[in-house]
Amino acid sequence: MGRLFFCIFGGTMTIADTDPAAQPSLEKRLEQAKASLQNGDIKQAAQKLDQLLSISSTHRDGLYYMAVCLRKLGEYNTVEEVLRQLKIAHPRYGRAFQEQGYCFLEQAKNVGV
């Protein structure tokens, strides 16, 4: 997930952020990642999302599903950074806040609260 960190912390826009022609490739990658996630292959889904985010660092659904994968992998510190980036790029996207709630719930379960 090395590129993920570059995408998140780099904060730069890529050609796919501004070029509508790049969108079909992004959507295909997103669908592949979602299929991997549904099949329970969380690491594979995260890899596909990492590729997507290396093309478009602010892709709304890419960031959201990456947060889901990271939560399922127990990577709570990283998921919080992904959600922060998602809320900056898409402040009215309710699923970011929903996912943050799921993260808080799982963290509370893990510490026995």
What would the pLDDT profile of 36-56 be if each residue is shown by its tens digit?
A: 999 999 999 999 999 999 999
Average the pLDDT over 17-43 and give the result: 85
Crossing angle of the two packed helices 2-10 and 42-55, in degrees rounded to 10:
40
- Amino acid 56: pLDDT: 94
In whole angstroms, give the CA distance from residue 8 to residue 36.
22
- Amino acid 25: pLDDT: 87
In whole angstroms, give the CA distance from residue 17 to residue 22.
8
**Domains located in the chain, CATH noted:** 2-111 (1.25.40.10)
Instruction: Return the SS3 of 91.
Output: coil
Percent of the chain with pLDDT over 70: 77
- Amino acid 6: pLDDT: 46
pLDDT band at 4 (very low <50, low <70, confident <90, very high): low
Residue (of 61, 64, 104) closest to 84 by Cα position:
64
| pTM for the model | 0.78
Q: What's the one-letter identity of residue 40?
A: G
- Amino acid 9: pLDDT: 46
